[in-house]
Amino acid sequence: MTTMTTIRTPQNESINGWPFQVYRPPDSPTDHRLMLLLHGHLGNENAMWVLTKPIPQGYALLAPRGTVQTGPDQFSWHATTSQWPELDAYRVLADSLLERIEDWTNTHDWPMHRIDVMGFSQGAVLALAMGILYPNKIGRTAILAGFLPQAWIPQLPAKPDSLAGKPFFLAHGTQDDVVPIAKAQRAATWLNEKGADVTFCKADTGHKLSANCFNTLGEFFT
């Protein structure tokens, strides 16, 4: 059963000059779970908190602002062009985020046993990149309305056991006209071929998280 909780009240925090919203549980748990929340195109560090409602208590939650401003209070992880960025661009973003997470955990006495990641849309692509590139640092990865760019596949780690048993959750709408569900299904197939433990939740909805996948998301992180 999903552990339902109230929406957390995060605080604004700058980590090495990067704007975040951060929630730290009032009672420090023994396992020190930590989750990175990655918003989508035109979002900001406030956008992902509604999706944390089913997430179990005890997590420290860090939500960074995208690096490219696209409008008033609107940000993205990269400029939007006809060509999707190369994997190396996402690797640079991932490295910068992991560096700041490590700084935060050191400053706030929060031992970094593992990092879970949840992203939506463009943020889901970044979450997936982090889960694939750093399986030794990332625990659970939730990919909401995201996909795996096909041009990345030849550049990804070839070790057949690097993702073995790693848990990935993909949620997608069958009516998504921004990211067609076929793209998410290809990502799930690739992950399964690498031996990952894949949960795929789909629903008759558009470019958003459905109610049934919302509940399953909480179960995934329990």
Q: Answer whether 105's CB lies under 8 Å from 130's CB.
A: no
Q: How many helices (H) and strands (E) does the chain have?
A: 4, 10
CA distance 75 to 68: 5
pLDDT, tens digit, for every residue of 60-69?
A: 999 999 999 9
Average pLDDT, integer, range 178-205: 97
Whether residue 3 lies inside any domain: the answer is no
- Identify the pLDDT of residue 157: 78
Taking the C-alpha atoms of residue 191 and residue 152, their distance in angstroms, rounded to an integer, is 13
Give the structural domain span for 27.
11-220
- Tell me the mean pLDDT in the region 40-45: 97
Looking at residue 57, its pLDDT comes to: 86
**73 vs 43, 49, 84, 152, CA distance in Å?**
8, 16, 23, 30
Q: Does residue 2 lie in a domain region?
A: no
Q: Residue 18 domain-assigned? A: yes
CA distance 100 to 142: 20
Amino acid at 214: F
Residue 75, classified by CB atoms within 10 Å of its CB into exposed (0-12), middle (13-18) or buried (19+), is buried
pLDDT at 149 over 50: yes
Residue 205 located in a structural domain: yes
The structure's pTM equals 0.94
- Cα separation, 68 vs 62, in Å, equals 18
Domain count, the chain: 1
- Nearest to 32, CA basis, from 115, 88, 95: 115
What is the band of 145 on the pLDDT scale with cuts at 50, 70, 90? Answer: very high
In this structure, of 1-10, 34-43, 134-143, the range with the lowest mean pLDDT score is 1-10
The tens digit of pLDDT for each residue in 79-110 reads: 888 889 999 999 999 999 999 999 999 999 89
- CATH of residue 176: 3.40.50.1820
Task: Report the distance separating Cα 100 and Cα 104, nearest Å.
Answer: 6
Query: Which residues partner with 169 through β-bridges?
Result: 142, 199
Burial class (CB in 10 A: 0-12, 13-18, 19+), 222: exposed
pLDDT in tens, 196-209: 999 999 999 999 99
pLDDT, residue 213, reads: 96
> Which residues fall within 8 angstroms of residue 133, CB to CB, at 6 or more apart?
90, 91, 94, 156, 157
In this structure, is residue 154 part of a structural domain?
yes
Contact 123, 38 (CB under 8 A): yes
Residue 33 lies in a domain: yes
Q: Give the chain's mean pLDDT.
A: 92
Q: Is 214 domain-assigned?
A: yes
Provide CB contacts within 8 A for 39, sequence distance 6+: 45, 47, 48, 63, 66, 75, 119, 120, 123
Band the pLDDT of 4: cuts 50, 70, 90.
very low
Q: Considering the domain boundaries, does residue 6 fall inside one?
A: no
